[in-house]
Amino acid sequence: MRRNSKREAFALNAIRLVLDLLASLPDSTERADAIRDAHACEHEVKHWSTAPPTDADRAGMMRRVLTLHLIAAKLRRAAHRP
């Protein structure tokens, strides 16, 4: 497996995980925005095999995905507050 395809698979897995978590949360504007951004990230990463990203672009994408995970965690905590 090429190095780039491993990175692509890692990124797509992280995106799918956050989409699964977001899908389990109550509807909200922030949730909808995060889902939309996650799908945009997924679309961009799927093109890495035909147009490999620069190191800076790849790092930026992973920061976006990490931010989505943080948003999902915050929304999950809020949803489970007594």
Give the DSSP H/E element, type plus range, for residue 78: helix 55-79
- pLDDT tens figures, 38-71: 999 999 999 998 999 999 999 999 999 999 999 9
Q: Determine, yes or no, domain membership for 2.
A: no
Do residues 68 and 18 touch, judged by C-beta distance below 8 A?
yes
Q: Determine, yes or no, domain membership for 20.
A: yes
pLDDT of residue 72 exceeding 80, the answer is yes
Q: Determine, yes or no, domain membership for 54.
A: yes
Provide the CA 3 distance to its chain's centre, in angstroms: 20
Q: Domain residues for 19?
A: 15-79
**What's the pTM?**
0.90
pLDDT of residue 82: 72
pLDDT of residue 3: 62
Question: How many residues would you count in the chain?
Answer: 82
User: Residues 39-48, buried b or exposed e (16+ Cβ, 10 A)?
Assistant: eebbebbeeb
- pLDDT tens figures, 12-26: 999 999 999 999 999
Q: Determine, yes or no, domain membership for 34.
A: yes
Query: Number of structural domains, the chain?
Result: 1
Q: Compute and round to an integer the Cα radius of gyration of the chain.
A: 14
